[in-house]
Amino acid sequence: AHHKHIDGLHSGLPEIRNKTTVSQQTLSCNLCFITIDCVMPRQVNTADRLTLIHDAVIAIAVESGFAAVTIRAVAQHIGASTSAVTHYLSGRDELLREAIRREIGLLQANAERATAGLDDAAALRAFIEWAVLTRDEQSHRLWLALVLGAGTDPVLREELDRFNAWWSQQIQ
């Protein structure tokens, strides 16, 4: 089923051969061999997009507290529409939970590296030094925002409780 040619113009959907490049797709009519170059949506790497979104959540929380973290604020921060955020995360709770878990996971991995291979006393000392001395201002502001927000936000409370359970296990 070829498209129709009406007064030399194309109408309907043509049979096409796709020749895809990174940013362009060439559509060709098999009947008359007309070729149309179209800009196609770029492929988005899901992991990269989630990292960008999580980084935005953390940046907003550090600057203005977790109450300021909304889907709209995150979308604005990354220069995208709200649908570019909700495509990956179903709502604000998941947005907060995933960003905090990623951030805490990175911190936990750093703590485990700092104490790897040490005996109990040396590991405890290294762990405390890691926790107190290696934090930068952004980390301090993030933890302050998390602790302050946990008083009113159940998601933040849950994530802080998860971290506190891990922390208690580490120092025992």
Please determine, for residue 18, whether its predicted confidence score (pLDDT) is greater than 90.
no
Instruction: Please check the confidence at residue 21 and state whether its pLDDT lies above 50.
Output: no
**Distance separating alpha carbons of residues 114 and 131, to the nearest angstrom:** 10
Residue 27 φ/ψ region, left for φ over 0, alpha for ψ in the -120 to 50 degree band, beta for the rest: beta
User: Which DSSP symbol is given to 11?
Assistant: E
Residue 68 confidence (pLDDT): 97
Using pLDDT thresholds of 50, 70 and 90, give the confidence band for residue 5: very low
Rounded to an integer, the average pLDDT of 91-102 is 95
Q: Percentage of the chain with pLDDT > 90? A: 44
Whether the per-residue pLDDT at 115 is higher than 50: the answer is yes
Instruction: Write out the DSSP string of 21-45.
Output: -SSEEEEEETTT--EEEEEPPPP--
pTM summary value:
0.70
In one letter, which amino acid is 154? Answer: P
pLDDT at residue 120 greater than cutoff 70: yes
